[in-house]
Structure 1
Amino acid sequence: MPDHYCPDCDVEMEATTATAEGVGDLYIETEREDGILKRLGVESQTPLTALLCPECGLTRFYADIPE
Structure 2
Amino acid sequence: MEKTNVTAEGVGDLYVETERDGGVLDRLGVGHQTPLHAFLCPECGLTQLHAELSE
Structure richer in strand, relative to its length = 2
In structure 2, how many angstroms separate the alpha carbons of the residues matched to 1:56 and 1:30?
30
TM superposition outliers: structure 1 runs of 4+ over 2 Å: none
RMSD (Å), alpha carbons:
1.4
User: Comparing 31-40 with 45-54, which one deviates more in the overlay?
Assistant: 31-40
Match of 1:54 in 2: 42
In structure 2, how many angstroms separate the alpha carbons of the residues matched to 1:31 and 1:38?
7
| Structure showing greater relative contact order (alpha-carbon pairs closer than 8 Å, 6 or more residues apart) | 1
Please tell me whether Structure 1 or Structure 2 has the larger radius of gyration of its CA atoms.
Answer: 1
The TM-score normalised by the length of structure 2 is: 0.72
Match of 1:39 in 2: 27
Identity of aligned residues (%): 65
Alignment coverage as a number of residue pairs:
46
Q: Is the 8 A contact 2:17 2:34 kept in 1?
A: yes
